[in-house]
Structures are given as C-alpha cells and as structure tokens.
Structure 1
C-alpha cells in the first residue's frame, strides 16, 4: 500500500516543475544538465518521492539557487523574526540528515543560518555546490564531523568552526558514535 505523499515533498515537486517550465526544458534536457535520471526527476516533480539532499543539491546547482532558497520558495514569505517552533525542518530520511532553516533566506539578503543534524554513520556527498563560490561557516556544536572540501579533509570536534568557499564536491560524514549537531552560516557570493 502506497503512503500518501508528504505535503512538503508535493510543494517541492511543484516548484521544481515550475522552475523547469520557466526555462522551457524537457525532462531529458534537465536530466542531461543535472545528471539525474528522467524517471527520478519526474517522480520528484510529482511528489511521488521524497527528494534526497544530494538530488536537491544537483537541481539547485542547475537552477542557480541554494537549497534554503528552494525550500523557502515552497513556504510563505519569511518574516523578520522566526520563532523556534516556526522554523521549517526538512529531513532526508534516507541519509539520516535533518536541516532546520533557522533564518529562512530572503531575496534581498545574501546570508542565512541553518541547523544541521546527522545521525550516527550518516554520510552525505554533494558532487557540486548549489551555487559556485558559496561561502560556508560550519560550527560544530556536538559530535564528531568529517568534512571533505575538494581534496581537503577536515576533522571537527565540538566548538570547531570551519570556513570554506565551495567550488567543487563536498562531503559531510558523521565520524563519531553519536550524531553530529552543527550550525551552518551560508553566504551567497
């Protein structure tokens, strides 16, 4: 028996379909540009699947936006003050990653704060940044995290802060027996 689709996944899918339509791209053309199969793209646009962080990252790269921008586009206009209970949480259940938009992005601003949590053993690889030259400041609050930026591997312990400009592949791996909890400040170029 098929579970009914998650409302957020349906809204994300609709926004992805809208972005593709705005560019007058076929599914085939988007598949070529993103490296994602046509069937996966079609299922994601219909809200039949919950897109993974890696899939959304590939599509954000093609559409020239951050993941926070994409996710905020399926939510209402972000107010100046966002109460903790109102901060949207998105989960990639397949990879063990959850992401809270602490300060949802705004078209007129370049920075945003994101809270990330990785389950023990979680390993997320991105083949490219959603926006080339994206500036990130990752502050590890709890756990152990291994971050790979291109060819450099960084091992973070609680309290460590890693600053990077992202131009190529990255990988976030929960390196300890407990989950990892961090704050990520993202600044668009």
Structure 2
C-alpha cells in the first residue's frame, strides 16, 4: 500500500506517470486492460495510487508503452542532484575515432538540457547519420583548438572561444583539422 500522504513519493509519481502514459496513448482503462491482460479495476487503482504495482504488472505496462522498466522508473526519479562531482561524470572514449566524451551535466527526466565535454584528437573525424531527436538544439563552445562541424550541408570552422548553435534535424559531421586536439563544451537542449 502506498503512502498517500506524500505526493512526492516514488509511488505517487509512478501512479501519476502511468495515468499520463495511458492518456498520451489515447487509451481508455478498458483498452489498456485489453492490451495488458491486467484488470480494469487494478489499473484504475494503480493510477489513483491506491495500489503499488507488482513487478509482473509493471513489466506488462512497460511492454505496451514500449519502455524498459529502468526507463519508466527513471522518468519518475526525484529532482536531479544539483551538484555533479567530477568523479561521477561518466567518460567514454572511442579509441578508433579519437573521440572522448565526458557527461558533465548528464540527462535527467526533470531537465531538458545536458552538457558534454568533447575532445577530438588531431585528424579525428566523427559522423552522425541523423539527429538523435529531430529539432534538438545544440550549442558548441570551443575551449581549445579548432573543429570543423558540418550541419545541413554547411561546414563551419569553429575556433577557440567561438560558439556554434543550431537545431539539428539531420546528419552532422565533426572533424578536427589539427595540428592540436580540440576540446569543446556541447550543450544539448531537447525540443
């Protein structure tokens, strides 16, 4: 049973999110029941916060909503932490392309923006076939070096101190002409 006294509890946020997902899909409780095999009354009680879902029921709901359980639970996390210490900033390196990515301010359900520190070795090339989210806003501020960024077929040479900003709707290409590596801050803002 849930703690209805605390509307900010994970259970309360989960109940609200489940109700919102059903509404976003335009489904009635009867339609959701048909799709999941979970009784209409159970679904109604879940959305009102009178009942906590079992793992099995939550799994059935995640399947019809096209989400992993981790993604659904991430959507109802509490407010993101205000401080992201350096030791908690995940770093990923693609040795083959010479690209390093540090998630300085990682994405969070409650936020629309994230900040990434990117470095490209001299001569490195990285291409992206499509925008991860069409219309995503990007601001790229070069901290050291020079990078050539191709967006919408136009090549922009962005030097130390310069900032390139755009809405990404298609492919993009990053190239570090050298002679030194480039280091830049990338702010990604979801539409």
In 1, Cα distance between equivalents of 2:95 and 2:136: 25
Aligned residue in 2 for 1:166: 168
In 2, Cα distance between equivalents of 1:92 and 1:80: 29
Work out the number of aligned pairs and report it: 117
> Which of these residues, 90, 97, 102, is aligned with residue 88 of structure 1?
90
Aligned residue in 1 for 2:147: 145
5+ residue gaps, structure 2, are 1-65
Matches within 5 A, 1:1-189: 79-189=81-191
TM-score normalised by the chain length of structure 2: 0.58
Ranges of 4+ aligned residues in structure 1 off by more than 3 Å = none
In 1, Cα distance between equivalents of 2:81 and 2:94: 25
In 1, Cα distance between equivalents of 2:95 and 2:85: 24
1:27-83 deviations in Å (ceiling 9; x for gaps): xxxxxxxxxxxxxxxxxxxxxxxxxxxxxxxxxxxx9xxxxxx9xx8xxx9632111
Q: CA deviation at 1:153?
A: 0.6
Whichever of the two has the greater Rg, that structure is 2
TM-score normalised by the chain length of structure 1: 0.58
- Segment drifting more, 141-150 vs 83-92: 83-92
Indicate the RMSD between aligned Cα atoms, in angstroms. 2.0
